[in-house]
């Protein structure tokens, strides 16, 4: 369990773990597994997946006390950044915790040890004048000796609080709950059924639905190999599942929607979704959320994390809000402050303009997948 007292700073040792050490991975994951604020994104499997995706170095900072016991960890990754200043602030060279990931940040037994880890990251960035430290966290206050971290409110994350089984789960007021229930029943009435994917071939069948969904939202898609690594590294440890909405007709079955879920601690995280726009009227995504949340309740989870939404995706935000019972604020911290950045709105500037949107949505799916794969090697 996590120790609940402060350590003397002068007895601490901070160092980075070497790559590909199985024993170090076990020690790292043991600490993550016991920390109440840890997320699935702190595990060594996720860090390996990020490294495979971009081929950029992972920096795993560890803090030990005088008894050589781990008292804090801080996962970070270097990013290449786009050349010639392309991509604005999101495209700058970073040492990030963590890139291409919703949340990261240090895990420590107290804020003083977290500050030591953050200061080590700040000192690392100081050696490269073109690089910025980026920390993503729910914490509204992070400390560092330099006291030069620049905080920005990033986005809100939508969370459903799950009552203990068998208490009924309610989604908002009676009207909202009834509307969700009708949508779920419509899916079932039209022979859409919920199940978990059994093999990697079903992941491959789902992937074009995900790519098309990303194209519609004018967002680069993650590569199929990225999801294949998630399946192979995280599923065997019970950290991941792919749930499917399958349409049954006479003599055939068709996957029309699916979601990648992460499962850790007390939270099920809705991480990635892909669904057929031709079958939206059958409400497969409503069925996916309804069943995933109720299954999470039976397994003892307390929260269903619906994730963040960029400010320009208003309809998606409205959809997630109808399921959520609470909202959490996410913060980004930078050192040094990115030039010209006065508020977080500049960071959240997506592909705007009807013409750009129409051009992107008209591209062949394979082209958007290639662009996505190349893009995420820089971000």
Q: What is the pLDDT of residues 124-170, one digit of tens each?
A: 999 998 899 999 999 988 876 666 889 888 889 999 999 999 999 99
> CB-based contacts of 79: which residues, under 8 Å, 6+ apart?
54, 56, 93, 94, 95, 96, 99, 378, 379
CB atoms within 10 A of CB 172: 15
Backbone region of residue 307 per phi and psi (left: phi > 0; alpha: psi in -120 to 50; beta: other values): left
Cβ atoms 308, 328 nearer than 8 A: no
Q: Which residues of 78-101 are buried (b: 16+ CB within 10 A; e: fewer)?
A: bbebbeeeeeebbbbbbbbbbbbb
pLDDT at 6: 44
pLDDT above 70 (res 2): no
pLDDT above 50 (res 312): yes
Question: CA–CA separation, 288 vs 243, rounded Å?
Answer: 7
Q: What is the pLDDT of residues 274-285, one digit of tens each?
A: 999 999 999 999
Question: CA–CA separation, 246 vs 45, rounded Å?
Answer: 29
pLDDT above 60 (res 345): no
Domains of the chain, start order:
9-155+331-348 (3.40.630.30), 163-301 (3.40.630.30)
Question: CA–CA separation, 218 vs 223, rounded Å?
Answer: 15
DSSP states of 105-172: --EESSHHHHHHHHHHHHHHHHT-TT-EEEEEES-S----TT---EEEEEEEEEEEEPPPTTSPP--S
Q: What is the pLDDT of residues 152-165, one digit of tens each?
A: 888 899 999 999 99
- Of residues 83 and 103, the one with the higher pLDDT is 103
Question: CA–CA separation, 26 vs 84, rounded Å?
Answer: 40
pLDDT at 275: 97
> CB-based contacts of 70: which residues, under 8 Å, 6+ apart?
27, 28, 31, 62, 63, 64
pLDDT at 251: 85
Q: Tell me the two tokens of residue 191.
A: 């022979």
pLDDT above 70 (res 49): yes
Residue with tokens 């990697």: 200
Question: CA–CA separation, 62 vs 107, rounded Å?
Answer: 10
Model-level pTM?
0.92
């Amino acid at each position: 369990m996590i120790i609940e007292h402060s350590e003397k700073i002068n007895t601490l040792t901070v160092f980075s773990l070497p790559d590909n050490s199985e024993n170090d991975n076990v020690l790292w994951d043991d600490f993550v597994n016991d920390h109440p604020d840890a997320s699935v994104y702190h595990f060594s499997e996720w860090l390996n997946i990020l490294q495979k995706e971009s081929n950029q170095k992972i920096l795993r900072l560890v803090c030990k006390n005088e008894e050589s016991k781990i008292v804090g960890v801080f996962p970070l990754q270097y990013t290449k950044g786009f050349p010639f200043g392309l991509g604005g602030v999101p495209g700058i060279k970073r040492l990030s915790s963590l890139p291409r990931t919703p949340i990261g940040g240090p895990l420590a037994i107290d804020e003083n040890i977290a500050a030591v880890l953050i200061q080590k990251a700040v000192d690392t960035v100081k050696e490269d004048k073109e690089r910025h430290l980026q920390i993503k966290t729910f914490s509204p206050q992070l400390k560092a000796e330099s006291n030069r971290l620049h905080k920005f409110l990033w986005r809100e994350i939508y969370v459903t609080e799950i009552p203990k089984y068998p208490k009924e789960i309610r989604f908002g007021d009676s009207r909202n709950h009834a509307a969700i229930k009708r949508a779920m029943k419509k899916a079932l009435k039209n022979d859409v059924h919920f199940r978990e994917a059994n093999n990697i071939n079903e992941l491959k069948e789902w992937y074009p639905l995900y790519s098309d969904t990303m194209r519609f939202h004018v967002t680069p898609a993650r590569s199929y190999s990225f999801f294949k690594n998630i399946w192979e590294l995280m599923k065997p440890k019970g950290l991941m599942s792919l749930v499917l909405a399958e349409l049954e007709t006479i003599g055939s079955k068709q996957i029309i929607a699916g979601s990648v879920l992460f499962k850790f601690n007390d939270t099920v995280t809705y991480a990635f979704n892909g669904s057929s726009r031709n079958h939206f009227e059958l409400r497969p995504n409503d069925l996916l959320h309804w069943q995933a949340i109720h299954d999470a309740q039976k397994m003892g989870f307390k929260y269903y994390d619906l994730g963040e939404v960029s400010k320009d995706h208003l309809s998606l935000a409205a959809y997630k809000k109808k399921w959520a019972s609470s909202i959490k604020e996410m913060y980004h911290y930078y050192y040094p402050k990115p030039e010209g950045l006065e508020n977080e709105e500049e960071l959240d500037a997506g592909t705007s303009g009807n013409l750009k949107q129409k051009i992107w949505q008209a591209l062949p799916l394979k082209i958007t997948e290639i662009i996505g794969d190349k893009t995420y090697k820089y971000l």
